[in-house]
Structure 1
Amino acid sequence: MNFEEIKDKRPKKVGELVDKSEEGDNYIVKVSDDKIYELAPIAYYIWAMCDGNRSVNDIVTELSREANLDESQVRDPVVMVLDELEKASLITF
């Protein structure tokens, strides 16, 4: 998966936030009774932005603005997180 392939797609999150991890800052997201994931804060933040309305490009733009980084610096990490979220069935395109 690379940015050019998915930049116009609008990912939609699957599952719901259940809780915040007891140890640390991770978030617990439940997809189904037998599928529960613990997400790092940045993965959770990107997952939460996947509302079906924002494109991948919109997410990159918003994150770069909030982190005060150039879009080129956040593009690959965002794509990597989206790829992992999709593999875990936490988002759909």
Structure 2
Amino acid sequence: MEESSRYLKQGEELGVEQGGVLIAIAGEKVYAVTPAAYYVWRMCDGSTTVGQIIDDIVSSTKLSREDVKAAVSTIIQQLLSAGLVKPAEEPSS
């Protein structure tokens, strides 16, 4: 996954249940995501890059950048598969 990639979150946060955050998509499906996945999902605002998400997590934890990059890549792939994020449009020049 390219660190320059940007994603836009989809769905709406419904609340917390049994340690997971509930996110609904178009009122049809509801997903319970882990706190780590929720954190990444929230940062997918269409302008924040994957690299910036990784750097933010590294700066607030004692984890290595390599470990964080692997985890963030996996989380974004899972969010993409579930339809909870989509690739952001490239800005017009």
Q: Structure 1 length as normaliser, TM-score?
A: 0.88
Unpaired runs of 5+ residues, structure 2, are 88-93
Verify: 1:14 aligned to 2:10, yes or no: yes
What is residue 44 of structure 2 aligned with on the other side? 50
Matches within 5 A, 1:1-93: 3=1, 6-21=2-17, 23=18, 25-93=19-87
Displacement of 1:53 after TM fit? Answer: 1.1
Name the structure with the higher helix share: 1
The RMSD of aligned alpha carbons is 1.0
Name the structure with the higher strand share: 2
Q: Structure 2 length as normaliser, TM-score?
A: 0.88
The SS at the match of 1:36 is: strand
Moved over 6 A (4+): none
Unpaired runs of 5+ residues, structure 1, are none
Q: Give the number of aligned pairs.
A: 87
Identity of aligned residues (%): 26
